[in-house]
Amino acid sequence: MDSGVAGRPTVLHAGSDADAIREAVETVTEPAHAFSSVDGETDAVDALAAGSIACLICESELTEGSGIALLQTVAAERPTVPTLFVTDDDSLIGDAIGAGATDVFVRRDGSERDALLSRRLANVLAQSPADTAGIADTANAADTDDDTLDLLRGMYEVTTDTESSYEEKLDGLLTMGCEALGLANGFLTRIETDGDGGQQRIVRAHGPHDLLQSGESCPLSEAYCRRTIETDGLLAVANAPQAGWETDPAYERFELGCYIGGKVVVGDDLYGTVCFAAREPRDRPFTEFERTAVRLMSAWVSYELGRQAATAEREMTHRVMNEAPVGILISDASRPDNPAVYVNDQFEAMSGYEQSEVLGRNCRFLQGEATDDAHVRQLREAIDEERPVSVELRNYRKDGTAFWNRVTVAPITDGDGELTHYVGFQEDVTERKNHELDLKLRNRAISAAPIGIAIHDATGAPWPITDANSAFGRVIGYDSTTVRGSGLSLFEGPETDPERVSTIERAFETGNSAAETVLLCRPDGSPLWARIRIAPVTDEDGAPTHFVSFLEDVTETKEHQQRIERRLDEFGDLLAAELHRPLTDALELLDGNPNDLSADTIATAVATLERTDGLIDDLTEIHSFSVKSREVFDPSRVDFGEKP
């Protein structure tokens, strides 16, 4: 263990990176501070109990015990010792704050790393009672009286009170500062420098001055603070009239005879000022210790506001990430195999794995037997080349169920452009992917169909074709380029029946289904008998958005039917010719004198003729040809006279 120097407050370090921490301590602290380093939790607890500790710098990983456990011990046994938690793991920030860390520093590669560590250490030391005591030891001997010590103790007690809110602590500091400085008014300002010369607003105040109450504001040009923010250190005016302020707009507005104030800076941005003032001038200048006290108060407010902003930002980021509709995983690129250091709630819900089961592992555990190696290789190559990538993978939940995961990975770099982490976004696209696969299957089925299938725009005539399968082009004889954008009228020829076409057009107009056999014409002029069927494709409200048409070549069937009809016509003509003579002879016989024929003969002849005529009618109906038998024989034409 590195030992501190007896009698001096010590910055205690617990962890393995002693050289870097020592350098930061030497950069920030005065020679009055000692430095001591241990590598285990037990040694750190012993050191805390044995000496005057200005602050504890605790790394997350210790050779014995853990950094989080050490923070919890310090919070329980030495709550007045401020602590800085140093880690490489973003996911431990919340645990460290919950364990009582005053601040957290996440180590990242880059040129600003050491400077950031030094600033965080300075902020933590500003809250140290031992550090405040060191300041008192180095102040002028005239200032180290009982009142000075009371102020330092009081500042420490106020700022380390875990039961008080920030506002209560601030009120305590302003009151204490007024009493110690002998000034009636203490206040915190918020300064906006954008537009119209800027504005000063009082955020918190103690004292009787009417214009220095919470909520009061004025143009920055009329405020003492305009000079404070232009000064490198403090602005201290013991006697404003003697210093030539009587003609200054700030003096004319506020009539303050004395004033001391320091800047409040949050991060790199000016927030405002911490100020103390009175109407009456002081009879002596502000001492170095008084100046130091105001500097400490300004530093504490800067630190506290910065901590609040950082905490709020972390909490907001945490809420945003947990409420995001996609899974989020952050991995540490500085460690072997890119282990996960953070996952959000949606990742847990989507994968079925809890955070504790994911952290420290590469997310390839989501892969399985159906995961496409080519896509995994594409993802791995992009990570190796430190570039963004998006792939869709077949992944598996903890319970073994498969799902389609759209994975988008992007590198995260520090201020110097050095890679530090990867962030991955996981989106469950199973429903969309299955729909796409179904659509691809349907498209393949349509393309392979032996009949022509086309999609038509339903917005109006000529109801142009927007897409068609290859069979449609083969049937009609046009290539796909010509077919697209054309209506069915393109395929009409000189012998196309307008009535049949109108049946199809009426269905388009009314949004109904229809079927018709139409004689069309191929581009080479050859005829095409086509069976056309159309049906509407409707939206969720039932309104047609498209039509689908089915085109089937029935030319061979139609020609075969026509040949049959011609032969039946020929057969009918032949049958009529063959029957005509006997029937005519019978009619002539019957046209004779009926009285010369017996009743039985007449009845037999009539029955024979009627049976012959019925046979012809049956043949005509069955074979769909027209033999007008009633023109050959009409029994009503026979006058049989009166029966004997």
> Where residue 515 sits, what CATH number does that domain have?
3.30.450.20
Q: How far apart are the first and last CA of the chain?
A: 154
| Cα separation, 160 vs 172, whole angstroms | 12
Strand, helix or coil for residue 209:
coil
- 31 or 556, which is more confident? 556
Write down which residue in 523, 553, 583 finishes a domain: 553
568 in a domain, yes or no?
Answer: yes
Among left, alpha and beta (phi > 0; psi -120 to 50; other), residue 244 is: left
Beta-carbon contacts of 194 under 8 Å, excluding residues fewer than 6 positions away, are none
Q: Are the C-beta atoms of 188 and 203 separated by less than 8 Å?
A: yes
642 in a domain, yes or no?
Answer: no
Q: What is the pLDDT of residue 130?
A: 53
Q: Which segment of 184-188, 196-200, 374-378, 601-605 scores lowest on mean pLDDT?
A: 601-605
Tell me what the mean pLDDT of segment 517-527 comes to. Answer: 88
441 in a domain, yes or no?
Answer: no
Is 573 found in the same domain as 531? no
Is 533 found in the same domain as 569? no
At 414, is the pLDDT very low, low, confident or very high (cuts 50, 70, 90)?
confident
pLDDT tens digits, one per residue of 465-508:
988 888 888 888 888 778 888 888 888 888 888 999 899 899 99
> Which CATH number do you get for residue 103?
3.40.50.2300
Determine phi and psi for 389, rounding to 5 degrees: -160, 150
Question: In 10 A of CB 392, how many CB atoms?
Answer: 16
| 330 token code pair | 């952050």
Is 92 found in the same domain as 28? yes
At 584, is the pLDDT very low, low, confident or very high (cuts 50, 70, 90)?
low
Q: What is the pLDDT of residue 247?
A: 92
Give me the half-sphere count of Cα atoms (radius 13 Å) on the Cβ side of residue 174: 28
138 in a domain, yes or no?
Answer: no
Q: What is the pLDDT of residue 3?
A: 47
Is 86 found in the same domain as 212? no
Strand, helix or coil for residue 379:
helix
Is 74 found in the same domain as 37? yes
Is 172 found in the same domain as 306? yes
Q: Which residues pair with 548 in a beta bridge?
A: 455, 535
Write down which residue in 553, 588, 607 finishes a domain: 553
Tell me what the mean pLDDT of segment 167-185 comes to. Answer: 94
At 139, is the pLDDT very low, low, confident or very high (cuts 50, 70, 90)?
very low
Residue with tokens 């000034």: 183
Is 523 found in the same domain as 542? yes
Give me the half-sphere count of Cα atoms (radius 13 Å) on the Cβ side of residue 590: 26
> Which CATH number do you get for residue 269?
3.30.450.40
pLDDT tens digits, one per residue of 417-456:
899 999 999 999 999 988 888 888 888 888 788 888 889 9
643 in a domain, yes or no?
Answer: no
Write down which residue in 409, 434, 459 finishes a domain: 434
At 600, is the pLDDT very low, low, confident or very high (cuts 50, 70, 90)?
low
Furthest CA-CA distance within the chain? 172
Q: Which residues pair with 260 in a beta bridge?
A: 236, 276
Of 262, 275, 203, 253, the C-alpha closest to 234 is: 262
| Cα separation, 339 vs 422, whole angstroms | 10
- 186 or 607, which is more confident? 186
Angle between helices 113-125 and 18-28 (to 10 degrees): 60
Concatenate the DSSP letters of all residues of 316-351 into one string.
HHHHHHHHSSSEEEEEETTSTT--EEEE-HHHHHHH
Q: Which segment of 104-118, 247-261, 616-630 scores lowest on mean pLDDT?
A: 616-630
Is 374 found in the same domain as 344? yes
Q: What is the pLDDT of residue 51?
A: 72
pLDDT tens digits, one per residue of 218-233:
999 999 999 999 888 8
Range of the structural domain that residue 332 is part of: 327-434
The answer, yes or no, to whether residue 411 has pLDDT greater than 70, is yes
Q: Which residues pair with 394 in a beta bridge?
A: 404
Question: In 10 A of CB 90, how many CB atoms?
Answer: 17
Q: To the nearest whole percent, how much of the chain has pLDDT over 70?
A: 80
Number of domains in the chain: 5
Is 288 found in the same domain as 170? yes
Determine phi and psi for 276, rounding to 5 degrees: -135, 140
1 in a domain, yes or no?
Answer: no
Tell me what the mean pLDDT of segment 398-417 comes to. Answer: 93
Q: What is the pLDDT of residue 450?
A: 81
Is 356 found in the same domain as 304? no
| Cα separation, 140 vs 128, whole angstroms | 20
Q: What is the pLDDT of residue 280?
A: 95
241 in a domain, yes or no?
Answer: yes
The answer, yes or no, to whether residue 8 has pLDDT greater than 60, is yes
Is 243 found in the same domain as 304? yes
Q: What is the pLDDT of residue 594?
A: 60
Strand, helix or coil for residue 436:
helix
Q: If you average pLDDT over each of 19-28, 184-193, 445-454, 613-622, which comes out highest? A: 184-193
Q: What is the pLDDT of residue 589?
A: 55
Tell me what the mean pLDDT of segment 595-621 comes to. Answer: 65
Is 244 found in the same domain as 186? yes
236 in a domain, yes or no?
Answer: yes
| Cα separation, 549 vs 463, whole angstroms | 11
Of 14, 18, 52, 58, the C-alpha closest to 33 is: 52
